Amino acid sequence: MAVMNSSEHTPADLLRSALAADAGRPLVTYYDDTLGARVELSATTLANWVAKMANALQDDLVVERGQRLALLLPAHWQTAAWLLACAATGVVADIDGDPEDADAVVAGPDRIEEARACRGERIAVSLHPLGARFPAGPPDGFQDHALLIPGQGDAFTSFDPPGPEDPVLVVEGQEMTGAEVLAAAREDAGDLGLSAGARLLSLRGYDTWEGLSAGLFAPLAAGASVVLAPGADRLEEAALAARRTSEGVTHFAD
């Protein structure tokens, strides 16, 4: 059962709670089964990336609270960080949103042409498991995520902090405020049986609320951690069972 914390009012507060509880524990573990890669982020490491992305939004990209960022990325640890960075700044993360209607866009390599419709800032993400740059340089008209983000500051202070009633997310066309994201995440954590210290293996994508919740928000709301493996449904049953054992998985969402 998710523990209610009176200091949590926005999704960004969930990450602060994770840091306060145990900054060094694994929080998001990501598998790329196409490349055979595994990336593990502690609460401290994830918070560091979130701060860098939030600083980029606020200082370099100048995307303000209430403006929209079309997030054209799959389930990935970098996507999780962008979602929390948007929550920290009050920028609305529009999952698979129309770039033409967005103030900025962050896109993976297979969605570059679609992202060109954005008239604002365009960021291209290689989606290399370790966050590497594009080998031949970023696509024309885009900044390379791997060049823009790492040099940003490791701490973030918002010039215009969002409140719980500010919108932070659009998924499947439905806009959600920070308070609504928290409430739905806590309800889902209860439905999944998550509690502090649990470890959830999620095979879901990030294109639905169910995928976003299982792959990030519900584990955070419960004080749990997540193993994000969106391609693992193609693994043989024995390999998936071995992963559940090696990762200490206690809960599963397919």
Partners of 202 in beta bridges: 228, 253
pLDDT for the residue numbered 233: 82
**Type and span of the H or E element at 179:** helix 178-192
pLDDT for the residue numbered 129: 85
Partners of 124 in beta bridges: 107, 144
- Using only C-alpha atoms, the chain has a radius of gyration, in whole angstroms, of 17
Partners of 70 in beta bridges: 94, 105
Helix, strand, or coil (residue 202): strand
Any residues with CB less than 8 A from the CB of 127 and at least 6 apart, and which? 73, 74, 76, 78, 108, 109
Axis-axis angle for helices 77-89, 11-22 (nearest 10): 110
pLDDT for the residue numbered 1: 46
Asked if residue 70 lies in contact with residue 105, where contact means CB atoms within 8 angstroms, the answer is: yes
Any residues with CB less than 8 A from the CB of 23 and at least 6 apart, and which? 42, 43, 44, 47
How far apart CA 24 and CA 222 sit, in angstroms, is 17
Q: Are strands 143-144 and 121-124 parallel, antiparallel or unpaired?
A: parallel
**Regions of the chain where pLDDT drops below 50:** 1-2
pLDDT for the residue numbered 234: 86
Q: Which domains does the chain have, with CATH numbers?
A: 11-253 (3.40.50.12780)
pLDDT in tens, 164-198: 999 999 999 999 999 999 999 999 999 999 999 99
pLDDT for the residue numbered 5: 54
Q: 13-38: buried (b, 16+ CB within 10 Å) or exposed (e) per residue?
A: bbbbbbbeebeeebbbbbbbbeeeeb
Total residue length of the chain? 254
